[in-house]
Amino acid sequence: MKAQHIRDIRATTVTVPLEAPLRHANGCHWGRFVRTIVEVETDDGIIGLGELGGGGESAEAVFRATKGYLVGHEVSRLEEMRFKIANPTASLYNNRTQVLAALEFACLDILGQAWGVPVSEILGGRLRDRVQFASYCFFRYANADGAGEVRTVEQMVAHAGELKRRFGFTTHKVKGGVFAPDYELAVYRALAGAFPEDQLRFDPNAVWSTEQAIRFGQAIEGLRNDYLEDPVFGLHGMRRTREKVRMPLATNTVVVNFEQLAANVLNTAVDVILLDTTFWGGIRACVKAAAVCDTFQLGVAVHSSGELGIQLATMLHLGAVLPNLAFAADAHYHHLTDDVIEGGLMKYEGGSIAVPTGPGLGVKLDRDRLGAYQDLYRRLGNYPYDQDPGRPGWSPTVPNERWADPTEARTVSIPF
Ligand code: MG
């Protein structure tokens, strides 16, 4: 089989609209996602795709700089690329884990195309053809049409019901940490009452104090909880919470590398590790981490950091090959209005998405869509993820000191 060598690396920033602005504990997604689309091209003209969060001139410049390391690099030498781009002993000066991830996605995509197999076959072969997802319900501001607000208990129950109807979800994740814990407790209990057959999970993005986390956790014992996700920041706060709350705790914040995973094995603070193909530095790192979790009988799930179709494909291939995946995966995907891949948004059926079967990642760029959303990015630029357009002057602290007011139906003007 002919070796593939990297000839060029290109990065394009896009912004793709969401159905409505998504509120979270640290700020807001201001009605759209900003993502960097990465293309790695080989001497034979095979193009592999990668993706990561954020973008702009500085992000694109980082990828141009990686050409100095990788032009001429043989694509199959993924471990060597890991040391070239994210050498752990150089990480104090050179923290490029997410850059490595985007490049790894693209190289696996190239290898799959060159070998005529899906990425899941390279990763060990699929155990399932579809991956189940959770509904991922956010509090939301109304969109520019005045629709889509999720703020009250009734609106959240209706929103979860709509997502269940449209996509078939049977697991509901609530992104909290926006309003005071007692208000969000009422919202969560209402969901449990409205969907008694479904599984639930709650994630306040680590903005509670440990005492708030314990109080909330104890209050939801007895509901159909998959787990309580990042109720408090730090392994020690999680450990204290875990001593007093009788349900699994999950994290995507305090175990995101192998050092932290080892620390959590030696002195357990978290039961379920949410694997993010970007945060961990690639799909293969997640497969390795899942094997460690399997050995020590920790749970694993698939985390979402706000993906378009390329990263979603990495999550699907990961989900397809993990023997110990016992939970529905997370995705922000169904909040998007469009995608940059051919065919537009991938389809949910029965709460699941089919793992792509084409060679490589199994998704292709739609050049027209890519151009349109690149133009939209050039018009709108970035937005501050850690600021809330409806709460000028508020900044997130840990633990949070000022909750949003659930009686305020704010209309925020977000340019489109
Ligand atoms: Mg989380």
Residue 18: inside a domain? yes
One domain for residues 74 and 153: no
Find the 313 Cα to ligand 1 centroid distance in Å: 20
In the reported structure, the alpha carbon of residue 148 is separated from the centroid of ligand 1 by a whole-number distance in angstroms of 22
Residue 109 pLDDT: 99
Q: What six digits make up the tokens of 98?
A: 């997410």
Cα-Cα end-to-end distance for the chain: 48
Specify whether 166 is located in the same domain as 300: yes
**Distance of CA 382 from the midpoint of ligand 1 (Å):** 22
> Domain span at residue 344?
121-362
Instruction: Specify whether 334 is catalytic.
Output: no
State yes or no: cis peptide before 396, omega within 30 of 0: no
* 213 and 309, same domain (yes or no): yes
Distance CA 109, CA 195 (A): 39
Q: Is 172 left (phi over 0), alpha (psi -120 to 50) or beta?
A: beta
Residue 198 Cα, ligand 1 centroid: separation in angstroms?
20
| Residue 21, domain member (yes or no) | yes
Catalytic annotation, pick one of 24, 29, 159, 175: 175
- CATH number of the domain to which 261 belongs: 3.20.20.120
172 is catalytic: no
* Residue 93 banded pLDDT, cuts 50, 70, 90: confident
Nearest to 98 by CA among 313, 365, 277: 277
Give me ligand 1 centre to Cα 200, in Å: 14
Which residues are 336's β-sheet partners? 18
Q: Which of 159, 303, 317, 335 is catalytic?
A: 303
Asked if residue 71 belongs to a domain, the reply is yes
Pair 61, 145 in one domain: no
Are 167 and 262 found together in one domain?
Answer: yes
Instruction: Report the alpha-carbon distance of residue 328 to residue 203 in Å, rounded.
Output: 15
In a domain, 15, yes or no: yes
* 412 occurs within a structural domain: no
If asked whether residues 196 and 337 sit together in one domain, one would say yes
CA 385 to chain centre: 14
Q: Rounded mean pLDDT of the chain?
A: 96
The token duo for 86 is 């994210």
Q: Is 388 part of a structural domain of the chain?
A: no
Edge to edge, what strands does the sheet with 32-42 contain?
Answer: 6-17, 32-42, 47-53
> Is residue 397 in a domain?
no
| CATH of residue 17 | 3.30.390.10
270 plus 290 within the same structural domain: yes
**C-alpha 289: how far from chain center:** 17
| pLDDT single digits (tens) 221-231 | 999 999 999 99
* 134 & 252 share domain: yes
Could you give the 3-state DSSP secondary structure of residue 341?
A: strand
Q: Which residues, 6+ apart, have CB-to-CB distance to 369 below 8 Å?
A: 338, 339, 340, 341, 344
The helix/strand/coil state of 377 is helix
Does the pLDDT value for residue 309 go beyond 70? yes
On whether both 208 and 333 belong to a single domain, the answer is: yes
Tell me: do 110 and 159 sit in the same domain: no
- pLDDT band at residue 1, thresholds of 50, 70 and 90? confident
Do the domain assignments include residue 404?
no
Element (H, E) at 114: helix 97-115
- Tally of structural domains, the chain: 2
pLDDT attached to residue 413? 65
